Structure 1
């Protein structure tokens, strides 16, 4: 019975390869690609800077290292590299990794590769909280953590609302979950738009609109602390839970018979995904489709074992967001596109491809 369920799920996610790509080799290759992406992401821009200069400036700034280089660069180059571009690229790493691992968990919970934090309304809920802070100074008692706190609470509220709407007669089906996510996302997006147009601050409205479409333009070193800690701890917690996530591939009933407390585990996963989504949305805005595309492509490459899928998805998501941001900065330079437009241009066709796959069906419902 267990074997049948496993094979049935794998046939929908795309057949798992009999010999998945070696994990260590995949991680090493992705780390190399990440290093190259960071270097190019920092050096490319309206003022291109040589890669050696990029790393000389970076190493000089790291005072803990016993390395120093002669300053054969201008003060303007140093400020561009260290104060503007490096924080932006590193924020892209954190945002990409966070959204990708959230997508992995949500797809495992609902056993459907169409699920992601954007489609299920989590990003929209986080946006409601964040725009209240940006435009009206809500949650001021939390000080510098107001934006992250409001985005987290909004994400948690939206996810709980989706689960409540999708639960009918004690059952949670994938179709209901996806439809509830779309409805909640539309409602919360409308609330966000109402909040924006209600603001008397015209400049704040422009900033909020640009932020709502996703942007890494406001990256600063002091903005990185909370997202780095949250995404790192979240990834560690999820890696520790790889066995229950793997058992979910066999179905909730099977996972329950094999010792997983599904109610407790689901609540724990909801809190982690809401926290990660809220923190990421607070610093980058709503960036869609990263959590949809990356986990699915990773599973096709390394199989469905979450010991592989989680770290590989984090690295792949980081690389993808870095390049999406580079494209957003350069394609209409000196102007800048919101990064959400770039990810949507990639994710929309990918979503259509998933829908058109001949072997795809909604999470075992046989539709």
Structure 2
């Protein structure tokens, strides 16, 4: 937009590599690094960037320590400032950024303003760093306001937040959307079915587990891991959504867990494609055991969507029904 310098963006700084400074004990978060960089950049590019304010969430954390309480802190800051700003940037560590992006997409119902997450693989204080381009790109995207939803900006790509996964520990091109193209990449955007009025809905603590199938996994271990008070589990299956269906003990364990009220979600261990229980007999038996398909959702979207739906206090069958519907463009309905 030509009037971008008249728009206002709030930067919520939670920590992460981007704002770290080298110390005797290694890199550690330092609030001044981000503030000094932004002050200098906004002075240089005042006509190309929106006006920005920074709110640091203290203490700054490594994102591997992120909790539901931290998500709620971000949600609260966006809700409190929603009418005052045209967009928001959440500066975040890369390890769990995709989880936070998905979590915010579900919690911010009726969102019509950009919420853009970003961070970096190398601190701003080091050369070379991907921090400057990521941060300024996110600020510009939030100021332009083209996409009124939660997104993630990294390495020149603006991506739907609940479609993103981190795919590299080292590369500047650290995030991808395996089943969805970045915005502006000849993409036909799916609908974001937000409610008409903005509501920020904080998360509640729910008991969710993520388990991956491996050859030799015993029924006893699976039964013990999935026992109540667990509420839901995301099981990473083989291929299109398969499990060792000849292991009757394992299949019986799944049926018992489902009967005990635990919601079982099956997703593929493959990054691309959609989980389907109707393609092979091995998948069909999972469906008979009570599994619901994660379709083409990322693991991050599956986990945070379960947190969101369970937090609404809905009956089990309603959670399972809504889980397979597109609430914020997190899955492809045509698959």
For the superposition of Structure 1 and Structure 2, which TM-score range results when normalised by the shorter chain? Answer: under 0.3
Instruction: Please identify which structure carries the higher strand content.
Output: 2
TM, length-normalised to structure 1 = 0.22
Instruction: Please identify which structure carries the higher helix content.
Output: 1
Q: Highest relative contact order (Cα 8 Å, sep 6+), 1 or 2?
A: 1
